[in-house]
């Protein structure tokens, strides 16, 4: 294993098989990590059981393996981390840095669409419902390695956001910050659909006195403007029997030179050598039909 300080990761949710959009995130993060002589970790973000598909986690790992995208160490599963999440929530509740909220989406919509913090002022303190962090950091901008200076809506940035849902499931913003810290992630490479989420995560890092990673958000694969390729819109699974064509299509999407060899391992080694961050289009989305595969 490399001793370089760079540690990246690919963190899919097991809500279905990997599709071409997933491959962009996986390959982009893999190439970046290996080009930096660093480690590439895999984390299965399985904190939302109602959205998970039985067998999807194993399918994802088999697909990565078939594509030669071999990870360092052992994959981390978020369901193994519940106690760490709960310990932090308990501490935040005890110190009044988090509080219960009973506002419904309808209530929030009638107050302008952004939660106004009303439950945080409730006396006596509420004892059930969703749990929100008192967002003191209110981060509304950051520097992205590809997208440049990213600014989000100020009202969104200032909102006390949910860290545990009313259905007792842990929220993504809490879990991802604790897990990136646990795994020592130094740079997060993922799609532009999570640009806004990055500001909330930086707020969490700041409030917990943790060091945030660097950020690198890749363009989204879209079928048409504003419609990303996703499991929710039934994007087809990538072919695990002949991965070479999909790898080259993903390289083309990322602005990288194609590699004309049969072995996926050799393909990836060459792709790592040729990798150029500056060649990736600094776009938030790219229409799939515009890419010449």
Give binding residues for L-glutamate as ranges. Answer: 9-13, 45, 172, 190
User: Binding site: what residues are annotated?
Assistant: 9-13, 45, 101, 103, 115, 119, 172, 190, 231
Closest CA to 134 of 170, 98, 173: 98
User: Binding site for ATP: what residues are annotated?
Assistant: 231
User: Binding site for Zn(2+): what residues are annotated?
Assistant: 101, 103, 115, 119
């Amino acid at each position: 294993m490399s001793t370089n300080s760079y540690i990246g990761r690919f963190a899919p949710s097991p809500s279905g098989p990997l599709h071409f959009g997933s491959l962009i995130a996986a390959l982009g993060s893999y190439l970046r990590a290996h080009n930096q002589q660093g480690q590439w970790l895999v984390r299965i973000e399985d904190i939302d059981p109602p959205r998970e598909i039985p067998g999807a986690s194993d399918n994802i790992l088999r697909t990565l393996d078939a594509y030669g995208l071999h990870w360092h160490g052992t994959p981390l599963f978020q369901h193994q981390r519940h106690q760490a999440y709960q310990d932090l929530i308990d501490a935040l509740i005890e110190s009044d840095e988090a509080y219960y909220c009973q506002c419904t989406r309808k209530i929030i919509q009638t107050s302008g669409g952004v939660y106004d913090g009303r439950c945080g002022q409730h006396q006596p303190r509420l004892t059930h419902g969703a749990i929100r962090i008192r967002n003191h950091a209110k981060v509304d901008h950051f520097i992205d390695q590809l997208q440049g200076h990213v600014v989000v809506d100020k009202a969104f940035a200032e909102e006390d956001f949910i860290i545990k849902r009313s259905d007792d499931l842990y929220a993504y913003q809490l879990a991802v910050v604790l897990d990136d810290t646990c795994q020592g992630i130094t740079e997060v490479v993922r799609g532009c659909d999570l640009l806004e989420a990055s500001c909330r995560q930086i707020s969490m890092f700041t409030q917990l006195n943790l060091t945030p990673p660097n950020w690198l958000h890749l363009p989204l694969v879209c079928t048409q403007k504003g419609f990303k390729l996703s499991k929710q819109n039934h994007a087809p699974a990538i072919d695990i029997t002949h991965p070479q064509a999909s790898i080259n299509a993903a390289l083309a999407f990322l602005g990288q030179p194609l590699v004309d060899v049969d072995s996926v391992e050799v393909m990836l080694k060459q792709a790592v050598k040729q990798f150029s961050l500056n060649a990736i289009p600094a776009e938030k989305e790219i229409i799939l039909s515009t890419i010449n595969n």
